[in-house]
Amino acid sequence: MLTERDVLSVVSEGRDPGTVQVGDVVVGPAPTVEPDSALEVAVDAMTSRGSRRLLVVEEEVVGLVTEHDLLSATTIERYDEPVDVDPAMNGDALGDDRALTTDRAISDQSICQECGALSRELVETDGRLLCPDCRDV
């Protein structure tokens, strides 16, 4: 699978995109997922391969799943607040100065503010949260 990042890497290396062949740029077979796979399988496939896209393959390619698709399809899970903590006490019931934690679970992945990719390795650079690829550009 050839992506815009592949083309940009050719240009950033000073190579002429008019003479470089696709086979010289793409790395290995494209990551795939079956149409009836759970979303968790797609997320795992993307993160383990460091890919932003998955081809959806039955006997042939039938679609494409992007990180944006997966992010749009997932929800933030709600947790019940502990019954022994009074929210009005702002943590005093815990016997220390800890503030109450939020009642929402948040993924350990976030979105790069440059390319929109999901990443577990965002770092603040010039006031923006960037993934490793965007920090290197």
Each residue's pLDDT tens digit, 19-77: 999 988 887 788 899 999 988 888 888 888 888 889 999 999 999 998 888 877 765 44
* Structure tokens belonging to residue 12: 């950033």
The answer to whether the CB of 41 falls within 8 A of the CB of 65 is: no
Res. 111: pLDDT tops 90: no
CB atoms within 10 A of CB 41: 13
Farthest CA pair distance, the chain: 69
Q: What is the per-residue pLDDT for 105?
A: 39
* Integer Cα distance of 67 and 47 in angstroms: 10
- What is the number of alpha carbons within 13 Å of residue 53 lying toward its C-beta? 12
* Structure tokens belonging to residue 79: 């947790």
- What is the number of alpha carbons within 13 Å of residue 68 lying toward its C-beta? 4
* Integer Cα distance of 132 and 77 in angstroms: 28
Average predicted confidence (pLDDT) for the chain: 75
* Structure tokens belonging to residue 93: 């019931």
Q: What is the per-residue pLDDT for 127?
A: 80
Pairing of strands 118-119, 123-125: unpaired
Could you tell me which residue, 82 or 10, shows the higher pLDDT?
A: 10
Q: What is the per-residue pLDDT for 12?
A: 92
